[in-house]
Chain A
Amino acid sequence: MAIIKRKKTSASNKRAAMPNGATYKETGKKVLRYLKNYKALFSLSLILAIVIVALTLYVPVLVGEAIDLAIGKGNVDFDGIYKILLKIGIVAGATALLQWLMNVCNNRITFGIVRRLRRDAFNKIQELPLSYVDSHPVGDTVSRVISDADQFSDGLLMGFSQLFTGVLTILGTIAFMVSINISITLVVILVTPLSLFVAAFIAKNTHSLFAKQSKTRAEQTALIDEMIGEQKVVAAFSHEDEALAQFDEINERLAKCSLKAVFYSSLTNPCTRFVNNLVYAGVALVGALICVSGGGDFITGLPLTVGSLTSLLSYANQYTKPFNEISGVITELQNAIVCAARVFELIDAEPQIPEAENAYDLQDTEVDGRVHIENVEFSYTPDRELIKDFNLSIENGQRVAIVGPTGCGKTTVINLLMRFYDVNSGKIEVSGHDIRDLTRSSLRRSYGMVLQETWLKSGTIRENIAMGKPDATDEEIKAAAKEAHAHSFIRQLPKGYDTVIGEDGGALSQGQKQLLCIARVLLCLPPMLILDEATSSIDTRTEMKIQDAFAKMMKGRTSFVVAHRLSTIKEADVILVMNNGKIIEKGNHAKLLKADGFYAKLWNSQFEN
């Protein structure tokens, strides 16, 4: 949440830039696509706005008329006044009701659009290619789905309805004023734009101040992230004083530019209000003079009453308000469109290659454990070639060990096997079928996977273990947990299998999380296995016990193991040695030792010392 909040405040301070390649027009079209579903509500809202503006503007006229009926001592038309008062009552009641209706309407549209946007964005996430997910920071995508969607719908609808009623109010006021008196109308129309200039002038000059403020703020946040996020290191090196000094330096700069930004931007309101006062004084002056002259209006010659002057004065107040708000509304609208473009960038991102229509749904019984890799070429980016000319035939029940230094790209092989990424050329066959001809779900169903980063979803322990088999019975779940040696610690949790764990495993230790991931696979036990440093954070004794389970599990099953343990490596049928993202050696233990290459060096290094 923190990130999102921060994002929101910084976005409101600066005018965000449009994401790559998006234009206002294009984005606008996409926005209409979503608005289409609310055509009826939207039209209703517009009609209501027109009626409300008209009614609201009518009230001052009525009050003016009433005042004109109460001229002085003994000169009051009570009947007339009561009739007018009744009218005011009806108009006010109707306005209130319609206003509420319009608000509810607008809410429905706004919230509905956000909901659709989020749904579409989320569904898109499910079919994005992994390359997209891997290359975009999680926080960025989350903020698109959450805060950008919010800002877009809020900004767009509020901005639009404000703009719409604003323009209507301006036009309506002019019409009402003209109907009362033209000279005064001219005064108002001529002086008011001044406030627009003032507002624009201030906005232009504060923009750079805000930009500087958010830049300094970002700099400070980065420092806070580091120094507080890694407090332990800071303390271990007694670095607190230096950190504080560094912090204060930025803090001082921030104070200076914040003061400027806050102060100058807070001038907009008083300044436009001052212009307002000028308009007001002008109307009072001209109006009073017309009343006095008795000759009536300077242009039309029509007389003016005190009541009409009252109406005009309250119009003078209302008329300038939308002008003052317009510059803000336009910024808000622009910002909304930028946010929309960011959401649409996600929604319209290229999805993964769709499955062929006649994609084959491989049945569990058909999986015979054969994997055939032929002339595979693959790289994440075209400018850095990784896997080339990769050939491998694996028979049922064979074990493939992938070894190499950290960061050598062992997960690449897994990405290809699971079809998280597609090969650039060549093919991978499972049980005689090119995996691109299979449905993704049937391919992935035939592998059981335990990854290096242990990921659990928020929910109960039970739900997590039963992920691959939601209809598993309690006995089955417990049996799997026991086999993974997770049962004993689960039993000690406050609610056992029904303990709810938070996002990313919450309070569980890394090792416990890994045990759950193993139990998760043990429960559904697919025909082939992918184990990625599966035991890296489990202590070696537990690991040994798990190895038994693994051995049982791997027996008769084709398995791919990113291996650190020597026994796994040694017993593997094929060892793939990787370095710098490439497969540099391939063969069994004996053969590779004999070759005396990279693997031999790796192997021997552990016995040094």
Chain B
Amino acid sequence: MKLVFKYLKKYKLEYVMAPLFKLLEACFDLFVPIVVKMIMDVGIKNNDRSYILSGCLVLVALGVIGLTCTIIAQYFAAKAAVGTSTGLRHDLFGHIQGLSYSNSDKLGRSSLITRMTSDINQVQSGVNMALRLFLRSPIIVFGAMIMAFVIDKSNRVAPIFAIVIPALAVVVFSIILAGIPLYKRVQSRLDKVTSLTRQNLSGVRVIRAFNKEESEMEAFSEANHEHTSVQNFVGKITALMNPMTYVIINLGIIAVVYFSSTEINSGNMSQGDLFAMYNYMSQILVELVKLANTIVLITKATACAHRIESVLETPTGMKVEKSTTENKTDNSVAVEFKNVALNYSGEGENTLENISFTVKRGETVGIIGGTGSGKTSLVNMIPRFYDASEGDVLVFGKNVKEYELEELRESVSVVPQKAVLFKGTIRSNLLWGNENANDDDLNYALEVAQAADFVAEKDGKLDAEVSQFGRNFSGGQRQRLTIARAIVKNAPILIFDDSASALDFATEARLRQALKGLKNDPTVFIISQRTSSISHADKIIVLDDGAMVGIGKHEELLSTCSVYKEIYDSQFKGGEE
């Protein structure tokens, strides 16, 4: 909640004015029964037509004032709510972008997206409704009671209000509060139904291959049934609300009439007074129900606000450490790992352990090893996507922790394993690498990435449209474009994270050839599963289960490193005998 107020603060005028005008409107609403009472007690009793007419004009005037107040209030409420969500959205987006990988891994990207979208929308409507109704409803409820005391000079009838209001409040709120956890249960049952549906679509081939249709239908039917029965149970409880409040209010009315009749008999009250009392009683019910619904909405919005808050509370970025050594860089050594260990969660076994190696400028380094051996983790530490838990990673002789992040990442270009592009054009995607690149630079990069051919065939060439995530390109094409994007960046360190997997042998070979001729002679890291992709490297690092089990040239490793030899044999035995 604190969070919301922080953003709401910028709309001081709005958040004060909205409830204030709502309050005014409520007050005018409360006058209506009094005016009618006067018409009855004075106008009708004394046969005073002009009094009646002016009374009714007052009613119309009250309506006009009420309308004006509400419109003003609605405007301010809408402005404050929309403003709050806009500000929140801006900050959240910026904040999420600044999260370190390990933190956004922990939060989960799809959950972050939900928070950005539907959670913020919920907060917006929560703020809007809160500003509009939170003051109005209590004012009407308590105002009605106060008016009752004003009318009832004997103070024998008005106390009924003091009993009815708490009774109603107890019923309304206990049903709502009981309902909230029950609805959560309904939701979790529904989640199961959803998950089964999704699985059966994504796994349709396997399910049919194993002839599991029948048993899946049974499982679904069971989950479906469970969901319905919880729903029915919750329904029975929440269905109590209207009937119970109705009974209470009518009991209140009976009591009001009962006690009023005595007062009227003894001359302490008039018929008009009774009318007004009856009216106030009815108004209370309407407003309490509205209040209850507002509270539900606000509860939801609060939950959403908490989810957003937890993201905003996650610290962003990575601390840049003061340079311990002098701010010197060493241009001859591109990358150096000194006894590096990596542990993502801070518990359990290390993902990488005791990694040390040096890579000279301009060298090509191959990294090979089994799934989960830590290849990607290793290169991710170079642009400081993750921090080493032990040891130091140096880029051009300077610890990565001492670089400004932007500066560091300017000098490292990564082609990720998963080839994604962004909505826009081929050009706009390539320019991610370097905003100032000209057409020649882009075409050169496409040439190197073996993408020039198919780009030339596209309508609009460089300006061909790219849809979200680059879905309108095949896997292989996407991969080549992401390679081109990385090359446009023209960074001194180039990392390929298993990014030639979708290319056939011939294309991959041509790509390798073209990389050798790159103008800026970058230091290249190539992660691959295939020995053929890295056998030409100046240095090959062999990883096994997080440990470095070999480093050297292809021929050396074949004779010294058993793991490497095994990998090589498994791929070439069949081919070269």
- Does B96 lie within 8 Å of A228, measured CB to CB? yes
Q: Is the CB of A405 within 8 A of B504?
A: yes
Query: Which residue from A71, A263, A266, A511 sits with its C-beta under 8 Å from B372?
Result: A511
Residues 82 to 135 of chain B near chain A (Cβ within 8 Å): 82-83, 85-86, 89-90, 93-94, 96-99, 101, 104, 109-114, 116-118, 121, 124, 128, 132
Q: Bin the interface of chain B by size.
A: 35 or more
Q: How far is the CA of A344 from the CA of B536 in the complex (A)?
A: 59
Cβ of A358 within 8 Å of any chain B Cβ, yes or no, is: no
A456 and B212 alpha carbons, distance in the complex (Å): 13
User: How far, in Å, is B460 (CB) from chain A's closest CB?
Assistant: 21
Residues A70 and B253 in contact in the complex (CB < 8 Å), given A449-B209, A571-B574: no
Task: State whether A226 touches B205 (Cβ < 8 A).
Answer: no
State which of A81, A111, A251, A273 has its C-beta within 8 Å of the C-beta of B257.
Answer: A81
Interface flags for A66-84 (1: CB within 8 Å of B; 0: not) read 1101111111101001101
B406 within 8 A of A: yes
Q: How far apart are A590's CB and chain B's nearest CB, in angstroms?
A: 14
Q: How far is the CB of A474 from chain B (nearest CB, A)?
A: 20
Known: A226-B422, A255-B83. A104 touches B44 (CB 8 A): no
The yes or no answer to B512 lying at the interface (CB within 8 A) is yes
Binds A, one of B52-60, B333-341, B436-444: B52-60
Report how far A96 CA is from B251 CA in the complex, Å: 12
- Among listed A15-23, A178-186, A242-250, interface-contacting one: A242-250
How far, in whole Å, are A92 and B43 apart by their CA atoms in the complex? 33
B177–chain A nearest beta-carbon distance, Å: 19
Say yes or no: A285 contacts B52, CB within 8 Å.
yes
| CB-nearest residue of chain B to A566 | B575
Tell whether A262 pairs with B247 under 8 Å between CB atoms, given A118-B224, A281-B60, A455-B206: no
B389 CB-CB contact with A under 8 Å: no
Q: Which of A36-44, A231-239, A328-336 contacts B (4 or more CB under 8 A)?
A: A231-239
Note all chain A residues with C-beta closer than 8 A to B566.
540-541, 544
- What is the interface size of chain A, counting residues whose CB is below 8 A from a CB of the partner? 162
Contact A2 B563 (CB under 8 A): no
In the bound complex, residues from chain B placing their C-beta under 8 Å from that of A608 are 505-506, 509
Residue of A nearest to B247 (CB): A96
Interchain CB contact under 8 A, B114 and A259: no
Q: Is the CB of B194 within 8 A of A142?
A: yes
B143 within 8 A of A: no
The reply to whether B385 and A540 contact each other, CB–CB distance below 8 Å, is no
**Once the chains bind, are A85 and B60 in contact (CB under 8 Å)?**
no
- The total of Cβ contacts below 8 Å across the A-B interface reads 461
Name which residue of chain B comes closest to A439, CB basis: B211
B56, B94, B113, B213: the one contacting A229 at CB < 8 Å is: B113
Decide yes or no: A96 and B78 within 8 Å by CB, A118-B193, A447-B209 being known contacts: no
A142 neighbours in B (Cβ, 8 Å) = 194, 197-198, 201
Please report which residues of chain B, range 221-240, place their CB below 8 angstroms from some CB of chain A when the two chains form the complex.
221, 224-225, 227-228, 231-232, 235-236, 239-240
Q: How far is the CA of A235 from the CA of B405 in the complex (A)?
A: 10
Decide yes or no whether A63 CB sits under 8 A from chain B.
yes
Given the contacts A72-B271, A146-B194, A571-B574, A63 and B257 also touching, CB distance less than 8 Å: yes
Complex: how many Å from CA A280 to CA B75? 26
Question: In the bound complex, what is the Cα–Cα distance between A99 and B225 (angstroms)?
Answer: 26
Give chain A nearest CB distance to B166 CB in angstroms. Answer: 19
Q: How far is it, in angstroms, between the C-alpha of A294 and the C-alpha of B81 when the chains are bound?
A: 54
> How far does the alpha carbon of A399 sit from the alpha carbon of B22 in the complex, in Å?
80
Are A232's CB and B202's CB within 8 A? no
Q: Are B97 and A284 in touch, CB under 8 angstroms?
A: no
Q: Most B CB atoms within 10 A — which of A231, A271, A441, A539?
A: A539
- Chain B residues 48-87 with CB under 8 Å of chain A are 48-49, 52-53, 55-57, 59-60, 62-64, 66-67, 70-71, 74-75, 77-79, 81-83, 85-86
Using A92-B250, A406-B476 as known contacts, say yes or no to A85 and B506 having CB atoms under 8 A apart. no
B113: A residues at CB distance < 8 A: 2, 221, 224-225, 228-229
Taking each of B79, B93, B216, B566, which has the highest tally of chain A beta carbons within 10 Å of its own beta carbon? Answer: B93
Do A100 and B278 touch (CB < 8 A)? no
User: Is there a chain B Cβ closer than 8 Å to A468's Cβ?
Assistant: yes
Q: Is A353 an interface residue (CB 8 A)?
A: no
Is A85 touching B257 in the complex (CB atoms < 8 A)?
yes
A270 to B199, CA, bound (A): 47
- Give the residue name and chain of the A residue nearest to B417 (CB): A232
User: Which of the segments B146-154, B260-268, B359-367 contacts the partner chain?
Assistant: B260-268
With a 10 A CB-CB cut-off, give which of A82, A277, A449, A468 has the most chain B CB atoms.
Answer: A277
Interface string of B188-212 (1 = CB under 8 A from A): 0011011111111111111111111
16 inter-chain pairs at a CB distance below 8 angstroms, sorted by A residue, are A63-B278, A67-B278, A81-B257, A100-B243, A104-B235, A217-B117, A228-B113, A231-B99, A234-B97, A237-B433, A243-B97, A247-B90, A278-B63, A284-B55, A285-B53, A306-B40
